[in-house]
């Protein structure tokens, strides 16, 4: 398929080899304006803002991917397969499932359980287990430790349901799933199918186990530790 696409106005060369992707395009704008230099906006289609700039002299892009597996599935598929992107690091919010995970904690998604049927397209004779790229995960953990930040590493749940009629994401606690979000599983599947690299780094915005939650504005602008770890991981893994 040729570019630009129906969802992305970027031309070949506009997007860096490594892309940070929050769900919220306003968080993408915040990252670009507060962490990158010499930024250019390459996409405004459907409000899904995308920017390319320099972080510590290295070229990095940041773009929103929207909410849910269908949305992230489209945007990351196009970046990997049409724009020659090698690495995508999702920087997102999540709801804590484990009582040991609290608001503003960092979660590195080593694996992504899901209730989505996204993997059905591959016609595999079983249940596929989406996982992060090890080099990215190892580097992100190293960066967090160098920064003196606490973190959790493990399974998350990529759910198709924000509001669910029956059952609860809390049911996954019995399998030691740390937190729930809505995109990592599709990102990981798109990455491995394209033979590319992916990692999801999450900041906890609410606790399912207690009912505590952050206001919407804080979710856009207060997750700076996650952003710094993702950017440092990005430049270390592309040099």
Supply the residues annotated as catalytic: 206
DSSP state of 171: G
Angle at 236 between CA 4 and CA 178, to 5 degrees: 85
CA distance 158 to 163: 13
End-to-end CA distance of the chain: 29
- Judge whether 160 and 69 are in contact, CB under 8 Å: yes
CA distance 23 to 68: 8
DSSP state of 10: P
**Token digits for 90?**
């999702």
Q: Which are the contacts of 164, defined by CB distance < 8 A and separation ≥ 6?
A: none
**Token digits for 14?**
């506009």
Burial of 185 (0-12, 13-18, 19+ CB in 10 A): buried
Q: Which are the contacts of 196, defined by CB distance < 8 A and separation ≥ 6?
A: 80, 85, 86, 87, 88, 190
CA distance 209 to 201: 21
CA distance 163 to 8: 29
């Amino acid at each position: 398929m040729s570019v630009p696409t129906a969802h992305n106005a970027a031309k070949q060369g506009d997007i860096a080899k490594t892309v940070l992707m929050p769900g919220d395009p306003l968080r993408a704008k915040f990252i670009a304006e507060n962490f990158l230099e010499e930024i250019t906006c390459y996409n405004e289609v459907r409000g899904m803002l995308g920017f390319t700039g320099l972080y510590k002299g290295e070229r990095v892009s940041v773009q929103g991917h929207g909410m849910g597996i269908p949305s992230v599935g489209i945007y990351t598929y196009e970046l990997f397969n049409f724009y020659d992107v090698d690495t995508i690091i999702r920087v997102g919010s999540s709801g804590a499932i484990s009582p040991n995970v609290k608001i503003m904690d960092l979660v590195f998604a080593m694996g992504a359980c899901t209730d989505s049927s996204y993997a059905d397209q591959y016609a595999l004779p079983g249940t596929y287990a989406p996982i992060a790229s090890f080099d990215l995960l190892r580097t992100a953990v190293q960066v967090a430790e160098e920064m003196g930040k606490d973190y959790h590493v493990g399974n998350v749940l990529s759910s198709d349901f924000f509001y669910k009629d029956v059952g609860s994401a809390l049911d996954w606690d019995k399998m030691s799933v740390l937190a729930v979000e809505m995109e990592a599983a599709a990102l990981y599947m798109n990455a491995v199918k394209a033979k590319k690299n992916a990692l999801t780094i999450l900041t906890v915005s609410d606790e399912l186990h207690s009912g505590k939650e952050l206001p919407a504005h804080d979710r856009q602008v207060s997750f700076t530790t996650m952003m710094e770890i993702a950017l440092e991981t990005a430049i270390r893994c592309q040099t």
